[in-house]
Amino acid sequence: MSNKLVVKSLPVLPEVKLIETPRHDDARGFFSETYSLRAFSEAGIAAVFVQDNHSLSVARGTLRGLHFQTHPFAQDKLVRVTRGRILDVVVDIRHGSPTFGKHASTVLSAENNLQILVPIGFAHGLVTLEDDTEVVYKVSNFYSAEHDGGLLWNDPALGIDWRLDGITPVLSEKDRIHPLLADLPQYFKYGDVEKSGS
């Protein structure tokens, strides 16, 4: 097995990276170095992370998003699943971008060992596809309530298929009232994002 990271761009949003870290399996289980500043830097990922977050979602269909932080507390995010399975969704909210308002999604699970890098200028969300799903993610800036922003998860202009299969999503009160894309202030402009993880 290779000891190198495998880094691929997501279709539609090339700045968003899907990352596979080497995993070594044996009779005891497995070992994986999920983050190394040196390895990520050698793979061209410049983000330096300052905080780790860990969430548990008890019920399948728990939907968190779409979230971001604004400058000067804007964040790159590195997301992985330690138990269960999620559909991870990223939306480009950089005004002037050729992919503004477009989204990409991928399934992350404890089994597939994949991570997703969400650069500054993108809104991030997820929905759990199994009960008792745990998500761990690194961020490149500290949490700031004053700079916490969001985009409405079911904005028709986004056209996101959350794969709910008839399940009513479990949402926080905050996530129910985020603005539509058309009403979102111009927090990020294409080409102006200086601190980016990709």
Please give the positions annotated as active site: 67, 137
The candidate with the shortest Cα–Cα distance to 128, out of 151, 108, 155, is: 108
Instruction: Find, among 19, 65, 33, 53, the residue nearest to 143 by Cα.
Output: 53
| 167 burial level (CB within 10 Å; 0-12, 13-18, 19+) | middle
Instruction: Write out the two tokens for 183.
Output: 């009403």
Helix (H, G, I), strand (E, B) or coil at 77: strand
Q: Residue 187, SS3?
A: coil
Residue 178 DSSP one-character state? P
